[in-house]
């Protein structure tokens, strides 16, 4: 009843109690995972949904939500694996097909990004923009067993496969739901993947016109504005998103970051604290709140937030260590400032080394 009343936090507690009494019940794990997802906590959703999928090996619902959760954590390859499983078990459900399209577009975008990071003028970039050949082998597949390619050639092959398979999934979705607003959304995401952000915004606007109450569309436009450093343009989109989905952790993080960049520390702090109420370990919210505290001259609190952010994310960017070092220095702790500055330099060197190894030598590839 809590679940259907949309009080997901209370529902999760009840489901946890039920699964403690009888660990073999499918529903508490399934609905508990769904509710974590709806509270913008996909990493907490995944273990529950995995148990539900194991307990009911024929279920199409568990792998569908599991795929959506993997998508939200940025694990798009694993999302593809789960969504394909859901589609095989329930071919009539078009929802996994929609998320499959999105996952492939994200993998394509990753491929562009990784190749461009190492070799901005790589010929592989132009080849990725070419439409798939009409006479291509229909057995083309993407290897989901390899977490990440280790060369430019590998990223090109993954991107090529994702583009071809994504277009196949898009055609299948169009044949089922030709009037759906999500057609515009998918077109927007492929425009983003190919670097056409203006075209993407136009497609998102068309999707919003077709479905004004759909979530994640305003957020997607705001993300484009944020990448352009147009924070004033992003704020209204994020406000519209939060009016539709007050539990959107991503929207709360982003609007807090936007206000922080606009030096509106009062609004930034308000939204970031709402984000942390949903996820106290949110890296993005902690980092942005650290910046807000720093800008306000509250260096001790800035240090505290930066430290939580560093501890919350194993794969944090090295730049936050520099921010932490600077905050310590402003707070008057020179020893800690120097210690974190040394660690920043070490991690920055590792990041550069990893980038070189990941992209590889273009001449060899």
Q: Dump pLDDT digits (tens) for 327-353.
A: 999 999 999 999 999 999 988 887 776
Q: Dump pLDDT digits (tens) for 226-270.
A: 999 999 999 999 999 999 998 888 999 999 999 999 999 999 999
How far apart (Å, rounded) are the C-alpha atoms in residues 209 and 365? 45
How far apart (Å, rounded) are the C-alpha atoms in residues 32 and 275? 20
Residue position matching structure tokens 């479905």:
211
pLDDT in tens, the chain (365 residues): 999 988 888 999 999 999 999 999 999 999 999 999 988 889 999 999 999 999 999 999 999 999 999 999 989 999 999 999 999 999 999 999 999 988 998 898 888 888 887 777 788 878 877 776 654 544 455 655 566 776 888 888 888 888 888 888 888 888 888 888 988 998 898 888 778 899 999 999 999 999 999 999 999 999 999 999 999 999 999 999 999 998 888 999 999 999 999 999 999 999 999 999 988 888 999 999 999 999 999 999 999 999 999 988 777 888 899 999 999 999 999 999 999 999 999 888 877 766 555 444 443 33
């Amino acid at each position: 009843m809590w679940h259907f009343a949309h009080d997901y936090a209370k529902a999760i507690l009840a489901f946890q109690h039920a699964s403690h009494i009888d660990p073999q019940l499918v529903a508490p794990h399934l609905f508990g995972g769904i509710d974590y997802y709806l509270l913008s906590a996909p990493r907490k959703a995944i273990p529950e949904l995995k148990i539900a999928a194991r307990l009911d090996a024929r279920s199409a619902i568990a792998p569908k939500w599991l795929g959506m959760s993997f998508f939200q954590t940025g694990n798009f390859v694993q999302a593809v694996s789960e969504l394909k499983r859901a589609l095989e078990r329930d071919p009539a459900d078009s929802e996994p097909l929609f998320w499959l399209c999105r996952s492939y577009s994200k993998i394509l975008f990753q491929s562009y990004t990784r190749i461009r990071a190492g070799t901005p003028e790589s010929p592989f970039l132009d080849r990725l923009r070419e439409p798939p050949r009409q006479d291509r082998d229909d057995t083309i597949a993407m290897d989901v067993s390899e977490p990440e390619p280790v060369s430019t050639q590998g990223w090109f092959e993954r991107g090529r496969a994702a583009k071809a398979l994504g277009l196949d999934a898009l055609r299948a979705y169009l044949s089922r739901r030709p009037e759906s607003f999500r057609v515009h959304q998918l077109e927007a995401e492929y425009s983003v993947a190919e670097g056409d952000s203006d075209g993407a915004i136009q497609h998102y606007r068309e999707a919003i016109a077709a479905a004004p109450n759909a979530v994640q569309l305003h957020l997607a436009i705001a993300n484009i504005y944020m990448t352009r450093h147009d924070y004033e343009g992003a704020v209204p989109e994020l406000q519209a998103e939060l009016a539709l989905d007050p539990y959107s952790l991503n929207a709360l993080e982003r609007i807090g970051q936007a206000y922080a960049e606009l030096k509106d520390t009062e609004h930034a702090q308000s939204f970031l604290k709402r984000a942390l109420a949903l996820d106290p370990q949110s890296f993005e919210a902690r980092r942005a709140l650290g910046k807000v505290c720093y800008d306000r001259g509250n260096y001790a609190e800035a240090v505290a937030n930066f430290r939580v952010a560093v501890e919350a994310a194993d794969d944090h960017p090295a730049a936050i260590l520099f921010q932490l070092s600077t905050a310590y220095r402003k707070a008057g702790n020179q020893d800690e400032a120097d210690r974190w500055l040394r660690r920043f330099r070490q991690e920055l060197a590792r990041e550069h080394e990893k980038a070189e190894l990941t992209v590889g030598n273009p001449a060899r590839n």
